[in-house]
Amino acid sequence: MFLDDLEVDRSTLSGPETRALGRMAAVAWLLDDAIRVPGTGRRIGLDPVVGVLPVAGDLAMAAISLYIVVEAALAGVSRRTLAAMLVNIAIDTGAGSVPVVGDLFDASWKANRRNVELAARDLAEAP
C-alpha cells in the first residue's frame, strides 16, 4: 500500500489521524492500484474496471470515492482541501464517463490516491 510512500511527516499526526489515513489509503489502493496489469509495470484498480459499465459504473465508483472525503472530513481536514478532493472526484467521474477514453483516463488519473495525499498533507500541516 502506498501509505508509506506519502511525502509527509507522519510523526506530527495523532493516532486517530494515522488510522484514518490507513483506512483512506486502503480504499484508494482498492480503487486505483489493486490489479497488476500483466506484462507492464502498471497497476489499475476497480475504478477503471467497473467504470466500463456506462454511467452506473462511474457513479458507483464516485460514491465509493466519497468515503475517502467523508473519512478526511471526520479526521479534521480543512474545507479547502475537502473541496479540492471533491473536484478530483468530479474530474474522475466526468472524464471517466466518456466511453473507452474515460476508462484509460481513470487508469492514469488515480483520483483516490491524489485525495489521500491531499488529506495526509493537510493533516500533517495542521497546527
pLDDT tens per residue across span 92-112? 999 988 888 888 898 899 999
User: What is the Cα–Cα distance from 25 to 28, expressed in whole angstroms?
Assistant: 5
The H-assigned helical ranges of the chain are 15-32, 46-50, 56-75, 79-96, 101-109, 111-125
pLDDT band at 63; cut points 50, 70, 90: very high
Are the beta carbons of 9 and 61 closer than 8 angstroms?
no
Q: What is the pLDDT of residues 24-57, one digit of tens each?
A: 999 999 999 999 999 998 999 999 999 888 789 9
Instruction: Judge whether residue 68 has pLDDT over 90.
Output: yes
User: What is the Cα–Cα distance from 93 to 98, expressed in whole angstroms?
Assistant: 9
Q: Give the per-residue pLDDT at 4.
A: 67
Instruction: Judge whether residue 91 has pLDDT over 90.
Output: yes
- What is the reported pTM? 0.90
User: What is the Cα–Cα distance from 54 to 67, expressed in whole angstroms?
Assistant: 22
Q: Which residues, listed in sequence order, are joined to residue 44 by a DSSP beta bridge?
A: 35
